[in-house]
Amino acid sequence: MREIVLDTETTGLDPLRGDRLVEIGCIEIYNRMPTGQTFHVYINPERDMPAEAFAVHGLSAEFLSTKPLFTEVVEEFLEFIGDAPLVIHNASFDISFINAELDRIKRPAIARDRLVDTLLLARRKHPGVSNRLDDLCSRYSIDNSRRTKHGALLDSELLAEVYIDLIGARQSQLILASETRESRAERTGDMPRRQRETPLAPRITDADREAHRAFVATLGDKAIWNEFLGAA
């Protein structure tokens, strides 16, 4: 099954108050394994960058002023995600910004029934504790040392690893690998062998056997065939 792990960065917290999308990062996974296919783009928000948002992701208005508008990248983005489920941490936040941008250019919104919210999954599995992305990385021993600032592509890469652990897919893969290498081999060795009720008739004639003995005799006394002939 194809899924897309997605993250965004923005100018703030509320698209209804003028905050805009500034970065999208996506990781493709297939059957819960990253394929190496990614989508990443910075977006010109056509507005200033509040200091609070800049402190989170480090993307300045000056840097973003040379980047494409959302309308210039939307086709490539929609083509990449296709109709796959979207795996997002705190999905309602990211999808509200994406749908706000789609609404501005009169494009259909992304349906919320496509969303897999890893924050909700984490809260069910680990109730009563913090389930931020950094916390989940620590819980599952995932190296997030590169995450000095929020970044959509890096956060998507980390979330893809967290998601695989969160749903138990990594453990299932390890169990399956162990099953394939060890258990199956052991069971195969213990399986009873079926015997024919009537043995097949031999296809080797007495003449064939004599010809073979004559050939082995030409190989000398140390030929390994002499051991088999002696046992016979």
Rounded (10°) angle between helices 169-178 and 152-166: 60
Query: CA-to-CA distance for 189 and 171, rounded, in angstroms?
Result: 26
Residue 208 identity: D
Residue 175 is predicted with a pLDDT of 52
Tell me the residue length of the chain: 232
- For 2-172, CATH number out of 3.40.50.11540, 3.30.420.10, 3.10.180.10, 3.40.228.10 equals 3.30.420.10
How much is the pTM? 0.73
At 48, phi and psi to the nearest 5?
-75, 170
How does DSSP classify residue 183? Answer: I
Q: Note if 57 is an active site residue.
A: no
Residue 76's Cα: distance from chain center in Å? Answer: 21
Exposed (0-12), middle (13-18) or buried (19+): which is 136, by Cβ within 10 Å?
Answer: buried
Point out the catalytic residue in the list 40, 57, 126, 150.
150
Q: For the chain of 232 residues, list the mean pLDDT of each consecutive stretch of 10.
A: 97 97 98 95 98 96 98 98 98 98 98 97 96 95 89 96 90 53 53 65 80 82 72 56
Domain boundaries, the chain: 2-172
Residue 184 is predicted with a pLDDT of 52
Query: CA-to-CA distance for 212 and 218, rounded, in angstroms?
Result: 10
